[in-house]
Amino acid sequence: MNKLATNGTKKLDLQKLLAPAALVILYVLFSIIGNNFFTLDTLKNVLESSYYIGFMAFGVTFVIIAGGIDLSIGTVMMCSALLGAYTFKQHDWPLVASLILTVAVGTIFGLLNGGLIAKLKLPPFIATLGTMMMAQGAGSILTKVQSQTWPTATEPVGGWFKPVFIRSELFGAKNFPVGAIWLFAFFVIAALILHKTKFGRYNYAIGSNEEAARLSGINVDNWKVGIYTICGAFCGMAGIFYAAAYTTITPGTGNGQELNAIAGVVIGGTSMSGGAGSMVGTIIGVFIMSVLKNGLSACGLQAPWQTFFTGLVVIGAVLLDIQRTKAANRVKKG
């Protein structure tokens, strides 16, 4: 390898450290300038605001690495949570059955996305834009545009829901963030699928060069359906944790939630052009988003400022991705 290629490799290695370094710098910075940011309660808030975004981000990481995009994840999450609550409250389903339905709804929408994109050859942007609106409309139609609620910790039926998925007395600590255990458990599962299985290898192959993957004997269409389906399943899981955090689900909402998840994935180093990325980067990107949200709030800046600075961070991450891609191309040519 010549000098140019060696320098390119070093640059790629350094870029892998940018996301964790940015996370540490942001946390230290907000601890210094923020009002009561460096506290245990704030750390719990950082974790809890990461749960549902994290699950969506895990799913859409598979999609983006494969060279696709999914704009429907936010409304699919909300539709899943809405229909789960509707069956529990209005039709007296057992809570476990409603939780299963919540994941199933997300999975079905993921399967639909995969079919539209892989089998009917719709562009991912158009297909998922369509299912985004379908999910938003379906939740409103089926619930007759009425807000639905999940059980609180004090309810006699289903009172175990929040302690199991969000906060509980555990390890001798009150309000222990149980959701963090779920988040890291599914992070490990997602990472193993992406990095240690045939599914993951084909995921990278399709994103790197879809035609080459097809010529090598990979059934690209079927694997794409699987990729979008697993993304939908993670959205269903996200619906459970959104419900555990907020209890009340409002029909017609969910737009914009997908941007938080996609931003976390991009900030974590997954390339929008496909073929590169990792679950470690994704979870770090999600925590960066959460620290940014809570840190700006601690500095007295409200939601519009949080959105503004998040946009700046995403632009910076995409610019870094462009530089990383150029460096990788120089390595290949070297």
Segment 230-256, tens digit of pLDDT: 999 999 999 999 999 999 999 988 888
Confidence of residue 3 (pLDDT cuts 50, 70, 90): very low
pLDDT in tens, 13-33: 455 677 788 888 888 888 888
| Contact status, residue 109 vs residue 76, Cβ threshold 8 Å | yes
Residue 313, CA distances (Å) to 59, 88, 263, 318 in order: 21, 40, 8, 9
Instruction: Spell out the residues 6+ positions from residue 239 whose beta carbon is closer than 8 angstroms to its own.
Output: 52, 76, 77, 78, 79, 80, 81, 84, 102, 103, 105, 106
pLDDT at 333 (0 to 100): 61
Instruction: Spell out the residues 6+ positions from residue 61 whose beta carbon is closer than 8 angstroms to its own.
Output: 190, 194, 265, 270, 277, 279, 282
**50 phi, psi to nearest 5 deg:** -95, -15
Q: Estimate the share of the chain in helix, then strand, then coil, as percent rounded to the nearest 5.
A: 75, 5, 25
pLDDT at 328 (0 to 100): 64
pLDDT at 172 (0 to 100): 66
Instruction: Spell out the residues 6+ positions from residue 136 whose beta carbon is closer than 8 angstroms to its own.
Output: 75, 78, 79, 252, 253, 254, 255
| Contact status, residue 26 vs residue 291, Cβ threshold 8 Å | yes
CA pair distance 114, 71, nearest whole angstrom: 13
pLDDT in tens, 51-91: 999 999 999 999 999 999 999 999 999 999 999 999 998 88
Residue 295, CA distances (Å) to 20, 36, 180, 261 in order: 17, 10, 19, 18
| Contact status, residue 320 vs residue 18, Cβ threshold 8 Å | yes
- Whole-structure pTM value: 0.90
Report the pLDDT averaged over residues 218-224. Answer: 93
Least confident of 33-37, 108-112, 133-137: 33-37
- Amino acid at site 289: M
pLDDT in tens, 89-131: 888 899 999 999 999 999 999 999 999 999 999 999 999 999 9
Supply the mean pLDDT for the chain: 87
| Contact status, residue 84 vs residue 242, Cβ threshold 8 Å | no
pLDDT at 9 (0 to 100): 35
Neighbours of 264 (CB within 10 A): 33
Both tokens assigned to 269: 């180093």
